[in-house]
Amino acid sequence: MKIIFQNNVPEFSLPLPIWSSIHLADAIGRDGEEFSVFVGLEKKYVEQLKQLSLDESDVDLQKYTGDKERFGLGSFEDWYRKNRTPFALFHKQSDALAALVWFGPSPLFSDENYWQTAAWRSYRPFRGKGIMRNFTQFAMEIYRSKFPDAKFWIALKRGNKGSAQLAADLDFEVLEEASDDFKVVMVR
Ligand SMILES: CC(C)(COP(=O)(O)OP(=O)(O)OC[C@H]1O[C@@H](n2cnc3c(N)ncnc32)[C@H](O)[C@@H]1OP(=O)(O)O)[C@@H](O)C(=O)NCCC(=O)NCCS
């Protein structure tokens, strides 16, 4: 996916005030589909995120994430209060949330405050279409431009091949001492 930076993006610091967002870029998928990239999530999209997170037919999302509890049943405000910064990819034609990536200070490694938890999801019908590598790379670059010392870590359930491949594509490396039989911790 090709990402085209927006001109004249206003100065901002992260995290943004809740419910606000800034249009950072546009993107074109390999099928020619058009997307836009935002930091922050407006209220109307939080409702979309809630419905996507409750969707039991999305087997991989339910199997590999806690989003049903986090966004489906839980409160977005409570989550946002943990200094989370979401980056969203929207499909222009349908205004659908196609993918979400977020970062925020990590509860793990709490003695080293530069560790940032990373998380990523793509949503059907956009999953598996090659949108994630460049979108996630872009989001990490923007986040690091605001927090230059940030080091990212992600915990993946064992067997989550798509997420492991994406992490490897993004040069994350396995941290054996933090991994166990159920999860792989990867850092970058
Ligand atoms: C993990 C996830 C975000 C990856 O998104 P995606 O839309 O599949 O990403 P892409 O199409 O850009 O593919 C990324 C890479 O993973 C590979 N991949 C995707 N799904 C795969 C699978 N099931 N098995 C093996 N490789 C897979 C792709 O081939 C691609 O690799 P490449 O660049 O070397 O060709 C997506 O599968 C998802 O949202 N899954 C459900 C939620 C989840 O597991 N989130 C992560 C929790 S840690």
In the chain the domains, ranked by start, together with CATH numbers, are 2-187 (3.40.630.30)
pLDDT value at 107 more than 70 = no
Distance, in Å, from the CA atom of 86 to the CA atom of 97, rounded to the nearest integer, reads: 12
Helix (H/G/I), strand (E/B), else coil: 109: coil
Residues 126-160 pLDDT 10s: 999 999 999 999 999 999 999 998 999 999 999 99
Cis peptide before 125 (omega within 30 of 0): yes
Name which residue sits closest to atom 22 of ligand 1, judged by CA. 162
| Whole-number Å distance between alpha carbons of 120 and 22 | 19
With 80 as the cut, is the pLDDT of residue 81 above it?
A: yes
Contact 70, 79 (CB under 8 A): yes
Taking phi over 0 as left and psi of -120 to 50 as alpha, with beta for the rest, 123 belongs to beta
Cβ of 69: how many Cβ atoms within 10 Å? 10
Which pLDDT belongs to residue 114?
Answer: 80
Within 6 A (CB) of ligand 1 lie 60-61, 64-65, 120-122, 127-133, 154, 156, 160-163, 165-166, 169
Q: Which of 76, 67, 73, 121 is nearest to 98 (CA)?
A: 121
- Give the pLDDT mean for 93-107: 94
Q: How confident is the model at residue 77 (pLDDT cuts 50, 70, 90)?
A: very high
Instruction: For residues 91 and 129, give the distance between their C-alpha atoms in angstroms, rounded to a whole number.
Output: 13
User: By percentage, how much of the chain surpasses pLDDT 90?
Assistant: 93
Out of 89, 163, 171, 188, give the residue to mutate to test ligand 1, the one with the largest number of ligand atoms within 8 Å of its CB. 163
The residues facing 119 across adjacent strands are 102
